[in-house]
Structure 1
């Protein structure tokens, strides 16, 4: 056989092997905190039921796939007549970090409008959840639904990596996870250099709710980034709300030593009780060791984009406190 025939045979053999090599399955199985779901790869019509899941979609750069959005804080007053979020409600908030131009509002994150969701014909629904949260069976009958609980270890990293696998964005997910760690490491060095840990080796994160109690966060909500910056826990709590913290008494707060930094981290929107807390007898007693850190409007409690912003924003506030 001459050289030309040999080359032709080799090319045909390679082509045949390529044609018979297995293709990735059209769907994949995802184990999440509410069960197991068969999800099509690279879905085109996605609904997120809260800002937490929205942040993961934004971090992966696939917000152009969003056809529906639920929320913990948006109301009908924030919507256009056709059910989209008003541009002025998006500008200057966390919502502006991605593309919501195709997303219809589907209601409150705990009680979404199932008829609206069905009409949008999603091929994936993603939500934050907790024990006792409803509608999972109904949502799953409409489209594969993934739910992730704040109280579980690695909460947002698990959700982000699952979605990255679904969208084929694994490297992007690992890059943003690494960026979170690098940001905390850099900011921790700045705090160390400024002598912050000599004055405040410990810290607590408290969240005053308007008309309600003050919560001590022990998991997920800002506290994990506070630890990554280099602070030790200033208080333990056995009480639990949604697995991330519990109500803390005035007496417990007043008993905090002077070397514990009190980080007031209020909820957003109408729930924000920070000013009432700071003006209270407890707030006044603790003012010399207190900083107020407020997230950008419409921000999730946690997530990669949130951690990057919160780490740097909180570091700036603390450095201003001790200078």
Structure 2
């Protein structure tokens, strides 16, 4: 990210925003700029100060033009039925504009009705592209955007959230909803989500009674980067919530990580009724490829052609299923939950 801090970038930002004042913080500058951009008639009583890990951000009026850095935050924005003007995915998607988002943005694209500008990646956003959009709110993550925060804050009020919050996506949805003045909608969505999970758990009871043990794996290269996913993984936690038991390493080999790297030779020691494989592929450079199925094709071939993988009981009995690591790691909120539950239903309750 060092290149972002070069004087030339600072010059670009300065010329874009005519920030020539001294003795003022980035947040003070942001507040002054945003009063005219977001709500010209906003009074002090209509402004709110948001406390966060990097300080505080003052937001006046109701933001209308939101740039979002990361699919985990786009998911929450769409849950509130707010459309972005700019978006950065985890991977460098090969589009300048998402003019056909349903075909260009993995999983969430069908819910995007705007044509947001591609502003880079979540960890390397283009400050120039963001500035040209003149947003009145930027949403990002501390893990990916902390270094850019001072510059992002000069463009617009910026809120950085934790990628994996201790209190879950519900708290983050409430924070974003409060800023966007959609708190009631957020509470309704959270309540509906909880009811949905309870209902789905009953649907899967017939499966969990017969096939209780699930081995959740992730890899791009089966013989090199094989990982056993734990309940700290979003999909792993959902599987347990439905009543399944996650198969794991012996306690002496466990860690508190989201996943544990293992060798392929360990697999026969892990008896499972069902195996769910999360496929990974970081190559999104070819716009002609389906971004979802592209992640699965090579992984399926490796599994089907590997002698050790095929020796496992679940493989022999035809109970190995595939999803993407992107879904399980990038979308840990209500939309990702709905998509994964529907996948599980098709895999286990309505197999073709």
Judge same fold: TM > 0.5, yes or no.
yes
Of 105-114 and 143-152, the range deviating more from structure 2: 143-152
What SS is found at the alignment partner of 2:64?
A: coil
The aligned counterpart of 1:26 is: 46
Corresponding position: 1:275 with 2:300: yes
Is residue 52 of structure 1 aligned with residue 72 of structure 2? yes
Q: Give the aligned partner of residue 238 of structure 1.
A: 255
The aligned residue for residue 5 of structure 1 is none
TM-score by length of 2: 0.70
> CA deviation digits over 1:253-272, x for unaligned, max 9?
3321234x321122466382
Cα deviation for residue 222 of structure 1 reads: 1.3
Q: Give the deviation of 1:180 after TM superposition.
A: 2.2
RMSD over aligned Cα atoms = 3.3
Secondary structure of the structure 2 residue equivalent to 1:44: coil
Does residue 213 of the first structure (1) align with residue 214 of the second (2)? no
1:68 aligns with 2:86: yes
Runs of 5+ unmatched residues, structure 1: 1-22
The answer on whether the counterparts of 2:137 and 2:158 sit within 8 Å (CA) in structure 1 is yes
Contact 2:217 2:275 in 1 (8 A): yes
Deviation at 1:187, TM superposition (A): 1.9
- Which of the residues 323, 327, 340 maps onto 1:293? 323
Equivalent of 2:310 in 281, 284, 301: 284
Q: Which runs of 4+ in 1 moved over 4 A?
A: 32-35, 90-93, 294-299
| Shift of residue 41, structure 1, vs aligned partner | 4.2
CA deviations over 1:72-105 (Å, ceiling 9, x no partner):
23523x33xxx4444573499521202222x211
Could you say which residue in structure 2 is the equivalent of 1:17? none
**Residue in 1 that maps onto 2:10:** none
174-183 vs 48-57, which moves further? 174-183
Of residues 174, 188, 205, the one that matches 1:161 is 174
CA, structure 1 residues 257+36, in 2 after alignment: closer, same or farther (shift >3 Å)? farther
Whole-angstrom distance in 2 between the partners of 1:281 and 1:35 = 54
* Residues in 2 aligned to 1:297 and 1:152: alpha-carbon distance in whole angstroms: 17
- The 1-side partners of 2:229 and 2:146 are apart by 21
Tell me, yes or no, if the aligned pair for 2:216 and 2:247 is still in contact at 8 Å: no
* 1:314 matches 2:333: no
After superposition, residues 131-142 of structure 1 pair within 5 angstroms as 134-142=147-155
Q: Which residue of 2 aligns with 1:100?
A: 114
CA distance in 2, matches of 1:104, 1:131: 19
CA shift, 1:145, in A, is: 2.0
Larger Rg: 1
Q: Size of the alignment, in residue pairs?
A: 287
Evaluate the alpha carbon distance shift between residue 123 and residue 153 of structure 1 in structure 2; reply closer, same or farther with a 3 A threshold.
same
Asked if the contact 1:127/1:147 (under 8 Å) is kept, the reply is yes
| Greater RCO structure (CA 8 Å; 6+ sep) | 1
What CA distance in whole angstroms lies between the structure 2 residues aligned with 1:250 and 1:282?
7
With normalisation by structure 1, the TM-score equals 0.76
